[in-house]
């Protein structure tokens, strides 16, 4: 049985599925698909903590599915913009778990992860599956993935 480690860029998947389909990502269906006939060695969702009730309920759902939820505080800048980026945290965790898993699953369309996918494939010799919204996923990330799985159809909540 292959070992899998899963890394979900929660903000990215929320905004890309909303923008492309006006729907939400189905974490239950994703979990069933990504873990089928595999041993899960790690499964993380990375999110920004705004501290509201609806968000806490969502985090509890993710935990019940099997994810560990990693949170960063929401930072509002003086100019009104917001900061909340998990790219470095996801990268460090994925590199760490590349030694412990046969397959790395990344859920994000962020092109910044193309270097990560390349390194895990070429240096660690592991399969990298990338799930993303096709039209909003960087071509460079799709090209560096061992396999690109589009978020569409059954992976969206009805």
pLDDT band at 115 (very low <50, low <70, confident <90, very high): very high
pLDDT above 90 (res 80): no
The string of DSSP letters for 17-45 reads HHHHHSS-B-HHHHHHHHHTTEEEEEEEE
Closest CA to 50 of 61, 62, 58, 40: 58
> What mean pLDDT do residues 80-92 have?
80
Residue 146 has a CB neighbour count (10 Å cut-off) of 14
pLDDT above 70 (res 107): yes
Distance, CA of 141 to CA of 118 (rounded, Å): 9
> What mean pLDDT do residues 35-61 have?
93
Residue identified by tokens 């460090």 is: 92
Distance, CA of 150 to CA of 126 (rounded, Å): 20
> What mean pLDDT do residues 129-157 have?
98
pLDDT above 90 (res 79): no
pLDDT above 70 (res 60): yes
Angle at 147 between CA 10 and CA 154, to 5 degrees: 55
Residue 86, both tokens: 């998990």
Residue 134 has a CB neighbour count (10 Å cut-off) of 14
pLDDT above 60 (res 81): no
Give, as one character, the DSSP assignment of residue 99: T
Distance, CA of 20 to CA of 93 (rounded, Å): 28
Phi-psi region of 51 (alpha: psi -120 to 50; beta: other; left: phi over 0): left
pLDDT above 90 (res 140): yes
| Mean pLDDT over each residue of the chain, to the nearest integer | 94
Residue 60 has a CB neighbour count (10 Å cut-off) of 11
pLDDT above 80 (res 76): no
Q: How far is CA 2 from the centre of its chain?
A: 19
């Amino acid at each position: 049985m292959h070992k899998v480690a899963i890394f979900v860029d929660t903000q990215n998947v929320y905004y890309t599925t909303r923008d492309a389909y006006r729907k939400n990502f189905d974490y239950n269906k994703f979990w069933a698909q990504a873990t089928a006939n595999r041993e899960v060695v790690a499964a993380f969702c990375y999110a920004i903590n705004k501290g509201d009730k609806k968000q806490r309920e969502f985090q509890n759902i993710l935990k019940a599915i099997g994810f560990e939820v990693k949170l960063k505080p929401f930072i509002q800048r003086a100019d009104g913009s917001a900061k909340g980026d998990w790219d470095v945290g996801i990268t460090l965790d994925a590199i760490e778990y590349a030694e412990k898993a046969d397959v790395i699953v990344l859920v994000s369309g962020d092109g910044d992860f193309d270097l990560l996918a390349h390194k895990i494939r070429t240096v660690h010799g592991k399969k990298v599956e990338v799930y993303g919204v096709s039209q909003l996923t960087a071509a460079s990330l799709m090209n560096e993935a061992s396999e690109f799985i589009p978020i569409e159809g059954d992976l969206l909540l009805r």
